[in-house]
A and B are shown apart, each in its own frame.
Chain A
């Protein structure tokens, strides 16, 4: 158990809908990362938050948005869902994201949310 929690575990929804995925980082971790993994594919980095502020953006669609709250949990919002958005969405956390030391890079992953768009 990495200490990172994600809810829900599974989500089935229809095209055009909007969903929210939730992540709680490990205790003490300030950085949260969101990744998308389609079937049999590698990890696509979406976005990173550090202590409530957006730190870096990857290949995140405009239909997707995220935020990190004062208690450090994070939510990923996916709207106008398409069939191609079906994937496993991971949240990861690290101690920090700014020091440049190993704690900035060593990421611990949650179990993922499996999103199915029908």
Chain B
């Protein structure tokens, strides 16, 4: 069965600095989708970024980018120029059999 592992329960970063959140997954499939979602204190789940496994180019959305290493089954999220509003839980998710399999989340703290 596919699994998603976020090994960092909590990370902290200074405002305006760059932080990378880790995610690894286990699969035998070759075609799949990966996602990062953000859950701020409001508890709303917000889609941050999507990566298609068949694309070699790493996805980017403004200050958010991913480092997708297919062979290593790694999908990390880089947040540049961290802002106070980036403070949230970040969940990595893997798309398989029409479902999303979720990691346990990483709590990101932004230090002013």
A residues touching B (Cβ–Cβ < 8 Å)?
A: 2, 31, 37, 42-43, 45, 48, 55-56, 58, 88, 90, 92, 97-98, 100, 102, 104-109, 111-112
Q: Name the A residues within 8 Å of B44 (CB-CB).
A: 2, 109, 111-112
CB–CB A43/B102 < 8 A: yes
Instruction: Confirm or deny: B45 has a beta carbon within 8 angstroms of a beta carbon on chain A.
Output: yes
Distance (Å) between the CB of B20 and the closest chain A CB?
Answer: 20
Instruction: Confirm or deny: B86 has a beta carbon within 8 angstroms of a beta carbon on chain A.
Output: no
Q: Name the B residues within 8 Å of A102 (CB-CB).
A: 33, 50, 52
Q: Assuming A88-B43, A106-B50, is B91 touching A43 (CB within 8 A)?
A: yes
Q: Name the A residues within 8 Å of B35 (CB-CB).
A: 105-106
CB–CB A48/B98 < 8 A: yes
**Interface residue count for B (Cβ, 8 Å)?**
21
CB–CB A55/B91 < 8 A: no
Q: Name the A residues within 8 Å of B11 (CB-CB).
A: none
CB–CB A92/B98 < 8 A: no
Q: Name the A residues within 8 Å of B103 (CB-CB).
A: 42
CB–CB B91/A105 < 8 A: no
Known pairs A42-B103, A98-B98, A111-B42 / 13 extra A-B pairs, C-beta < 8 Å = A43-B45, A56-B97, A90-B45, A92-B45, A105-B100, A106-B35, A106-B50, A107-B47, A107-B100, A109-B44, A109-B46, A111-B43, A112-B43
